[in-house]
Amino acid sequence: MQFTTYVLATFTLISAALASPVNNLVERQLQYCGTQPYYPQDYTCYPANNNLLCPISNGVIFQPCGQACFDPANYGCVNGQLVPVGNCNGQAYDKNSYVCVSNHLCPKTHPNLCGEACYSLSQYRCNNGQLVQV
């Protein structure tokens, strides 16, 4: 009888200890993305991208592009391909196609700015804020 009481008391103590959080530890909720386990505070699941898991880093939710994840502050996704993205006067742009000149976007083919106009040195020059044909 004493042994049964001892076992029951030990079981009760262990059950109570396991049921209450220790030092404010909070149980994290494990979820599944397809068959992959993940914690939703650390990753985002994209079922439309073949259950792709993308990280959450420093509060930034990485986005899917095909089977890759990217930081939307540095890249964009065009037709399933990653493209580097810049910021010019608050406007996002593709660094492969544009340059930022004095807070204005100009195509890489015309990377110079005269007033508000972008131009190519092979075709124009800038004279007192006005384009002059070469």
**Per-residue pLDDT, 11:** 46
Q: Are 86 and 100 in contact (CB under 8 A)?
A: yes
Q: What's the burial of 65, exposed, middle or buried (CB within 10 Å: 0-12/13-18/19+)? A: buried
Q: What angle do CA 6, 12, 15 make, to 5 degrees?
A: 140
Q: How far apart are CA 103 and CA 29, in angstroms?
A: 45
- With tokens 């002059």, the residue in question is 132
Looking at the chain, the whole-number percentage of residues with pLDDT higher than 90 is: 59
**Per-residue pLDDT, 78:** 87
**Per-residue pLDDT, 5:** 47
Q: How far apart are CA 99 and CA 66, in angstroms?
A: 26
* Ranges of H-type helices in 1-134: 2-19
Encode pLDDT of 92-123 as tens digits: 889 989 999 999 999 999 999 999 999 999 99
For residue 81, give the H/E element and its range.
strand 81-88
**Per-residue pLDDT, 92:** 86
- Which of the residues in the chain have pLDDT under 70? 1-28
DSSP string, 117-131: EEE-TTTEEEETTEE
